[in-house]
Amino acid sequence: MTHETAIPAPPRSAPPTSDPFIVHGLRVSYFTRKVTGYLDHAGLAWGLQPSLGANMAAMEAGWNGGIPVVEAPDGTLMWDSTSVILHLDTRFPERSVRPSDPVLAFLDALLDDFSDEWFYRHAVGSRWLFEENRVSGSLDIAREGRYELGTPFDLTREFVTGAMTACLPRLGTTPDNIDAWIADSLQPWQRVFGAHVAEHGFLLGRRPSLADFAFFGGNAAHFTNDPVCIRWTEESSMAVFDHTRSLLIPGSQPLGEWFAGSGDRLITVDDLPATLIEVLAEAGRHYLPWVASATVDGAATVQFESGPTAQIATTDFLDTARGVLLARYVASRCPELDGVLERAGILQWFADFTDQAAEVPDHLLAPQPADNRPYPGGA
């Protein structure tokens, strides 16, 4: 399925830019780790400025609080993890994370969306609804966050715990359904994802794509970090740890190629391994039916196989993200792509909703979207 042409990493002593990017975020933040994983992969120097979201310069530039904010060496501020990575990928294409094949490019965007809009719910819910994780996570966040706030450690910890706990009902994660979020959604995903990357290295071949960094962010910050989550991941698939480790140490292995068709033709379903089809099918079990309904009706119910449900409203941010993904589908649509989506059982969630397509952002521009919060903040 793949070709093993080695693409060496840039020398670690001479990154493409000598001045560092400053990442305003947290080491145990889902989206901060997504961005820093990419920066490591691209060989871009960076430093972390601990931030809970009180970045006045970014606020004055129009940011509304979703970490991280990335400050370029020339002082330009940008935010929204996916948009930041896609923008930097245009500037530093030597180790691009976007396949040129339009079928693979859309699958990459789909899986990135799946991670960003779905699995952060498991991450935040599990951190604040399991006591061992709550103790560990609040300690880690307060330790870093007090540098920005300047408040006493215990007060910072209390503030963070209260704010994040208040978010949980809006995410759809509650004490009554969190076990179903884990057993019916997270762990089945980990088993399918683990089986795929154990055989093929990364989601779309022998080199990481945008979607790999999306899942790396959740894994590095939560699912291979928080103590209760670590045990779940050990039970589900040790390959999740292997995938995470491979991106924690970029350049440790030569990069191969994306999955490819014969000659110059587009990828077809017959070119893709069955394990990737199973990965795509996971998006259709809970996420795509919910998001398709919620972004039309304003809210929708997730029905877990073990019985519990989650009633979750959409947000302006999610409506926008869905519109962009549908725009990418419209732009990429071809028989080859529809064949892949049909095989995975998820074509209807795109083909039947093209009227919601918005516009694809111009990634040549440093991103500063007006809305950067995937869910409403705590009270």
Alpha-carbon span 368 to 337, nearest angstrom: 31
DSSP codes, 47-110: EEEE-SS--HHHHHTT--S-SPEEE-TTS-EEE-HHHHHHHHHHH-GGG-SS-SSHHHHHHHHH
Beta strands in 8-56 (DSSP E): 21-25, 46-50
- Side chain identity at 190, as an amino acid letter? Q
Whether residue 378 is predicted with pLDDT greater than 70 in this model: the reply is no
Question: How many CB atoms neighbour CB 234 within 10 A?
Answer: 12
Rounded average pLDDT over 245-264: 83
Run of H or E including 302: strand 299-303
Q: Which two tokens stand for residue 112?
A: 């990135």
Query: Taking Cα atoms as reference points, which of 96, 304, 101, 21 lies closest to residue 185?
Result: 304
Report the chain's mean pLDDT, rounded to a whole number.
92
> Which pLDDT tens digit goes with each residue over 346-364?
999 999 999 999 999 999 9
Structure token digits, residue 72: 């370029």
Q: Which tens digit of pLDDT belongs to each residue from 90-134?
A: 999 999 999 999 999 999 999 999 999 999 999 999 999 999 999
Q: So what's the pLDDT on residue 31?
A: 97
pTM: 0.93
Q: Where are the beta strands (DSSP E) in 198-260?
A: none
- DSSP letter, residue 1: -
Calculate the dihedral angle through the C-alpha atoms of 225, 231, 235, 240, rounding to the nearest 10 degrees.
Answer: 10
CB 327 within 8 A of CB 297: no
Confidence of residue 18 (pLDDT cuts 50, 70, 90): confident
Residues in Cβ contact with 197 at an 8 Å cutoff, skipping those fewer than 6 apart: 203, 239, 240, 242, 243
* Residues in CB range of 131: below 8 A, 6 or more apart: none
Torsion of CA 229, 235, 237, 242, to 10 degrees: 60
Query: What span, in angstroms and rounded, lies between the C-alpha atoms of 203 and 98?
Result: 12
Percent above pLDDT 90 for the chain = 87
Residue 12 has pLDDT above 70, yes or no: no
pLDDT of residue 376: 60
CA separation for the pair 68, 54 (Å, rounded): 11
State how far the Cα of 245 lies from the Cα of 194, in Å rounded to an integer. Answer: 13
Contact by Cβ (8 Å): 124, 136: no
User: 106 with 56: CB under 8 angstroms?
Assistant: no
Q: What is the mean pLDDT of residues 232-258?
A: 91
Q: What is the pLDDT of residues 184-220, one digit of tens each?
A: 999 999 999 999 999 999 999 999 999 999 999 999 9
Give residue-wise pLDDT tens across range 26-67.
Answer: 999 999 999 999 999 999 999 999 999 999 999 999 998 899
pLDDT band at 258 (very low <50, low <70, confident <90, very high): very high
In this structure, of 15-24, 39-48, 67-76, 177-186, the range with the lowest mean pLDDT score is 15-24
Angle at 144 between CA 226 and CA 367, to 5 degrees: 90
Statement: residue 243 has pLDDT above 90: yes
What Cα–Cα distance (Å) separates residue 11 from each residue in 16, 24, 46? Answer: 9, 25, 15
377: pLDDT confidence band, cut at 50, 70 and 90? low
In whole angstroms, what separates CA 228 from the centre of its chain?
Answer: 21
| Residue 68 preceded by cis peptide, ω within 30 | yes
The span from the CA of 151 to the CA of 135, in Å, is: 19
